[in-house]
Amino acid sequence: MRCSRGHHADPLQSHNDVSRVPTSVRLAELRRRHENHRFAIKQRILKAHAYELILNGGADRLAVFYKGGIKPAQLAQLIFKTRRN
């Protein structure tokens, strides 16, 4: 159901008296809300996992960088020298 503004009308709030809304309509609306809520949670879990992978990958690369023995000051000096040339 859509209202005049193009939004989905809420059958549970579109009537002043909720008891006039059939039980099947109320249950369907509650199921839809529950489904939307579960979908939103799953989306947040996927996004959090993606961020976790990105951060872990960066931390791993940083650890390999420091394990290689080059110091940040040496890297800065190298970048500075290559830019001057």
Q: What is the pLDDT along the chain (85 residues), one digit of tens a residue?
A: 445 555 555 655 554 566 788 999 999 999 999 999 999 999 999 999 999 999 999 899 888 878 888 888 888 888 888 887 6
Has residue 3 been placed in a domain?
no
24 domain-assigned: yes
pTM of the predicted model as reported, rounded to 2 decimal places: 0.52
Look at residue 6 and tell me if it is in a domain. no
Domain for residue 2, yes or no? no
Asked whether residue 13 is domain-assigned, the answer is no
The parent domain of residue 39 ranges over 20-84
Cα–Cα distance measured from residue 15 to residue 22, given in angstroms and rounded to the nearest whole number: 11
Q: What pLDDT is stored for residue 44 in this prediction?
A: 98
Question: Is 57 within a domain?
Answer: yes
Tell me whether residue 1 is in a domain. Answer: no
User: For residue 33, what pLDDT is reported?
Assistant: 97
Dihedrals phi, psi of 8, to nearest 5 degrees: -70, 130
Does residue 10 sit within a domain? no
Q: Can you tell me the distance from the alpha carbon of 57 to that of 63, in angstroms, rounded to the nearest whole number? A: 10
Smallest Cα–Cα separation from 12: which of 1, 63, 52, 4? Answer: 1
- The count of domains in the chain is 1
